[in-house]
Structure 1
Amino acid sequence: MQTRDKTKTLRRGQWLAGLALGALTLAPPAAAETLQGALAKAYENNPTLAAARAGQRANDENVPIQKASGLPSVGAQADYQENLVVPGNSFTSPMRYASVGGQVAVPIYQGGAVRNGVKAAKFRVEAGQADLRATEASIFAQVVGAYMDVLRDQAIVQLNRKNVSVLTTNLQATSDRFEIGDLTRTDVAQSQARLALAEGDLRTAEAQLIASRELYARLVGEAPVDLQPPPQLPNLPASADEAVAIALNDNPDIEAADQLLNASRADIGVARASRMPKLSGTVSGSYNNFLNSISSQVVDAQNTTTSAAAGVTLTLPIFQGGRPSAQVRQAQARTSQAIETYVATERQVIAQTRGAYAAWKANQQIISATEQAVGANALSLEGVRAENSVGTRSILDILNAEQEYLNAQVQLVSAKRNSYVAAFSVLAAMGKAEARDLGIEGGALYDPEANYERVKGQIWDWADDPAPQQQTTSTRNVPAADASVPAGDNPLIGPIDRENGQ
């Protein structure tokens, strides 16, 4: 297990360097938050991830629990008794006595139950470690999505506020021209209606921004503050086939399914052991003291006795009502289930990887096309305004051109968000979206193998861990999110022209 972990760590080195370099090239101001910083905070303070780590520590304990079945057991007992009524014709019966004794039982042969039980527990530990990797990648994917959602929704609020401002100016100009008889009341009504709709869209965008900020706080543990442009993701695959090939080798869900299949095969050996002979050895001894309660008139009376014994016990099951065969068939059926689960997991990972890759590539093309649409709509809006000034275009033409320009900008912002999230999903499907891959900083990384090594050979009955304590912080003291937008340019829409919204 250690060798495999070291090999994975070496493979991940180039991935760590790639994203770390990307983050360094976009060094932010002191008070700003980077995507890498948000991931580091979630890594340290996300309760779902902390709970998964605790669950894996509980899973680790199954190995020493299974090993205990094959180790000697030592027991002691003490007894004190007062005989309240002694038969009248019994001169040797004591009035009281005290005794102490002990026994050592050594399992010699258990039919393979212990060996296979330990083997199954070890496989499940490895499966749990893979599940922990998957949980880590899932949390990171959610954080990346929430981070990009906040940037997207801030941009959409910013665009809608600019649109409301432009439409307000248009309405004022239309009203002024109506006063001098240059336009009709219909033109004013059209401007009023479009402004009212824009204000409704702005309220919707603000509500969505608040929801995205609350989701971010839930995942990261802190409110998003001045989020910086995300770094370029390193080592993205050149093709869907390359992504699938890496995913089949490194995806944690596939590894977990494989280890659970191995564990289910070991469970068959455990079930078969129930009909095998069992051999154990025992050594016992006792000391009895009658506390001088035997009559002194009894010749050769002994007030103390000692005894010791050693032996072996062979248990040979002959008939158990069909239970062993039922248990074996049950374990075999569960192995068949695990085989099919592995195939289903593999299919799911292949589909997930190809789908994420396709979404990433599609959104790259959408970005390119939408950038052209934004530029074309900007020119169209400028031309419609100029043509309106000479009377060849109506107010409705201007309003439509402004709406099309806004729609194109919103679509571009959404496409940039979707492209980045899809690219990260490709890395996650490939098994390349964990803390070691992403260069998470801020302290030593959590190593589930360390706890397993600590407990796997533990045989002391009093080796408890400290009392459980809450590891992550509550968000009850995080201020409620609002729809304010930080000053400056949004990384998803670039510089904003204060005159025409471009």
Structure 2
Amino acid sequence: MTAKRIFGRHRAAAALLLLTSALTTPVQAETLQGALAKAYASNPTLTGARAGQRATDEGVAIQKASGRPALDVSGSYTESILKPTISFTSPQRTLNAQTQLSVPIYQGGAVRNGVKAAKTRVEAGQAQLRGTEMSVFSQTVAAYMDVIRDTAIVSLNLANVNVLEVNLQATNDRFEVGDLTRTDVAQSQSRLALARSDLQTAQANLITSRENYIALVGEAPDNLEPPPQLPGLPENPDAAVQVALRDNPDIMAANKVREARAYDVKAAKASVLPTVSAFTQAGYTNYLHSLNSSAQDSNGNVVEGPQINKQAAAGVQINIPLYQGGRPAAQVRQSQALESQAIEQAIETERGVIAQTRASYASWQASLETIKSAENAVSASGLSLEGVRAENSVGSRTILDILDAEQESLRARVQLVSARRNAYVAGFSLLAAMGHAEADDLGLNGGALYDPMDNYKRVRGKWFDWDFDPAPKPTATRTIDSPAQNANVPAASMQQP
């Protein structure tokens, strides 16, 4: 058998291996929408942010409580152990009960502004929750695309190792018949060793991506489908910035925090104003026949004095602060400084969103251009590889030329896979910066969407002291039972892009 026929036989075996892998029928796959729906329902960052928002909702009810009536009842029982030596009427024991109702009438605007500040913080928290939602979605999209990219890179490297193994075997066969030298064999062995090292690195990266996917989604990735096209991407960065300034939730949240701080200043100023409240109180004292008080009736008989005392009163109380050691002024200045901080933070947030939007747009555009270049490189390197192999078969190319062409072809395919991942992630990040990457925008089909207004409407008017919620239970799913991930790739992905 000639050397050319030996080499041709091994090339045919490698091509058959790739063709068989490409034609393998894939199993049922996971979609990006399904992954986002799972993250939306069970990601602990998102479920924890929802719980934090429910805590913020209670601030309105807490502030309203300061303007509602307060009713107190107290009671005591006293047993005298040692009576005063100079008192002959001190009771041995006393049963006492008192009740007081206080109704605030005017609090200097503290309650009104406190409620407004709390409501504004609820609006800020809802905007922050939207931002958290889009951040989790962005991370999930990146993890989804990382798994697809790293799976493809492992497949490409594994196919490259298989081809280099075939090349090495062919080189050895040609060396045995005297068609090649020991140097050609050593070059093939070196490239195969490097390819195996690259494969191990790619497999480690794939395992890392799969574990990160589990941490975000809660389930292991299972044969992920290619993602759908991203809708609503802008034509230029200026259009993207205009949308972001209007719809980005981080900007909305920062502006609401600034408004809340302004109400805090007004509430702090109320501490120097008069307060008016109405009150009523009643008392009941029973000496349990231990009060030594007696009197004579009209017939001269000694009778026991009263053993029960009752009292009731009602009135209006006004409190006019004259001097409080400088505390009110310090509290107002403190609130004003915090308002100033919130103003600066709103500008900082706006700057950051503008920079993020422009950077995401530039990254998206650059990745699209990289895809075009990489596609051309893949096409050209493929033709080059076939040409070098054909020329080698007639003796005009060396084994090193084939190895270099195979390495160039692999590098172009890896670059194409990475560019596709980068373009999609950058595009989604751009939508998130514009405020258009929420569950409503993505059309998730995992059931009813979480509406923070439902809880706010439920608790904002509650007034009963014993109206507790049930003990909290975890909403996010744990991943302790998920198996450790490996670098195995589906046979269907064992093909070049």
TM-score, scaled to structure 1 = 0.90
**2:475 corresponds to:** 471
Q: Does 2:370 match 1:373?
A: no
SS at match of 1:214: helix
Superposition deviation, residue 297 in structure 1: 4.0
Superposition deviation, residue 35 in structure 1: 0.4
Q: Hey, what's the Cα distance between the residues in 1 that align with 2:222 and 2:83?
A: 86
- 8 Å contact kept, 2:118–2:260: yes
**2:4 corresponds to:** none
Q: Hey, what's the Cα distance between the residues in 2 that align with 1:471 and 1:30?
A: 30
Superposition deviation, residue 79 in structure 1: 1.2
- 8 Å contact kept, 1:278–1:314: yes
**2:94 corresponds to:** 97
**2:392 corresponds to:** 388
- 8 Å contact kept, 1:92–1:298: no
Alignment of 1:49-64 (within 5 A): 49-64=46-61
Q: Does 2:28 match 1:31?
A: yes
Pick from 135, 144, 147 the counterpart of residue 147 of structure 1: 144
Specify every segment of 5 or more residues in structure 1 that has no aligned partner in the other structure, as ranges. 1-27, 491-495
- 8 Å contact kept, 1:52–1:132: yes
SS at match of 2:491: coil
Superposition deviation, residue 489 in structure 1: 3.9
Superposition deviation, residue 419 in structure 1: 0.6
The worse-fitting range, judged by mean Cα deviation, of 434-443 and 199-208 is 434-443
SS at match of 1:314: strand
The worse-fitting range, judged by mean Cα deviation, of 300-309 and 216-225 is 300-309
Q: Deviations for 1:46-80, whole angstroms, at most 9, x for unmatched residues?
A: 11111111111111111111111111100001111
Q: Hey, what's the Cα distance between the residues in 2 that align with 1:29 and 1:321?
A: 77
Q: Does 2:192 match 1:188?
A: no
Specify every segment of 5 or more residues in structure 2 that has no aligned partner in the other structure, as ranges. 1-24, 297-303
- 8 Å contact kept, 1:366–1:415: yes
Q: Which amino acid aligns with 2:94?
A: Y
Q: Hey, what's the Cα distance between the residues in 2 that align with 1:94 and 1:364?
A: 94
Q: Hey, what's the Cα distance between the residues in 2 that align with 1:447 and 1:419?
A: 31
Alignment of 1:89-168 (within 5 A): 90-168=87-165
Superposition deviation, residue 92 in structure 1: 3.2
Superposition deviation, residue 250 in structure 1: 0.7
Q: Which amino acid aligns with 1:195?
A: L
Q: Does 2:459 match 1:448?
A: no
Q: Does 2:404 match 1:400?
A: yes
Pick from 275, 278, 297 the counterpart of residue 278 of structure 1: 275
- Change in CA separation of 1:301 and 1:29 when aligned onto 2, cut-off 3 Å: farther
**1:4 corresponds to:** none
Q: Which amino acid aligns with 2:379?
A: G
Q: Hey, what's the Cα distance between the residues in 2 that align with 1:30 and 1:139?
A: 28
SS at match of 1:61: helix
**2:9 corresponds to:** none
Q: Hey, what's the Cα distance between the residues in 1 that align with 2:88 and 2:349?
A: 78
- 8 Å contact kept, 2:151–2:493: no
Pick from 41, 48, 58 the counterpart of residue 38 of structure 2: 41
- Change in CA separation of 1:185 and 1:87 when aligned onto 2, cut-off 3 Å: closer
Q: Which amino acid aligns with 2:368?
A: Q
Superposition deviation, residue 86 in structure 1: 3.2
- Change in CA separation of 1:89 and 1:152 when aligned onto 2, cut-off 3 Å: closer
Q: Hey, what's the Cα distance between the residues in 2 that align with 1:296 and 1:175?
A: 125
Pick from 419, 423, 431 the counterpart of residue 419 of structure 1: 423
- Change in CA separation of 1:176 and 1:317 when aligned onto 2, cut-off 3 Å: same
Q: Hey, what's the Cα distance between the residues in 1 that align with 2:95 and 2:27?
A: 76
The worse-fitting range, judged by mean Cα deviation, of 350-359 and 309-318 is 309-318
Identical aligned pairs, as a percentage? 61
Q: Hey, what's the Cα distance between the residues in 2 that align with 1:478 and 1:87?
A: 76
Superposition deviation, residue 436 in structure 1: 1.1
Q: Hey, what's the Cα distance between the residues in 2 that align with 1:210 and 1:76?
A: 65
SS at match of 2:309: strand
- 8 Å contact kept, 1:119–1:266: yes
TM-score, scaled to structure 2 = 0.91
Q: Deviations for 1:385-419, whole angstroms, at most 9, x for unmatched residues?
A: 11111111111111000000000000000000011
- Change in CA separation of 1:88 and 1:336 when aligned onto 2, cut-off 3 Å: closer
Q: Does 2:351 match 1:347?
A: yes
The worse-fitting range, judged by mean Cα deviation, of 468-477 and 33-42 is 468-477
Pick from 328, 350, 354 the counterpart of residue 324 of structure 1: 328
- 8 Å contact kept, 1:264–1:331: yes
Q: Hey, what's the Cα distance between the residues in 1 that align with 2:244 and 2:33?
A: 23
Superposition deviation, residue 147 in structure 1: 0.5
SS at match of 1:75: strand
Q: Which amino acid aligns with 1:170?
A: N
Q: Hey, what's the Cα distance between the residues in 2 that align with 1:29 and 1:167?
A: 26
**1:84 corresponds to:** 81
Q: Hey, what's the Cα distance between the residues in 2 that align with 1:210 and 1:89?
A: 89
**2:22 corresponds to:** none
Pick from 307, 310, 313 the counterpart of residue 314 of structure 2: 310
- 8 Å contact kept, 1:109–1:279: yes
Q: Deviations for 1:24-62, whole angstroms, at most 9, x for unmatched residues?
A: xxxx99832110000000111111111111111111111
**1:174 corresponds to:** 171
**2:258 corresponds to:** 261
Q: Which amino acid aligns with 1:185?
A: R
Aligned residues: 466
- 8 Å contact kept, 1:91–1:298: no
Larger of the two Rg values belongs to structure:
2
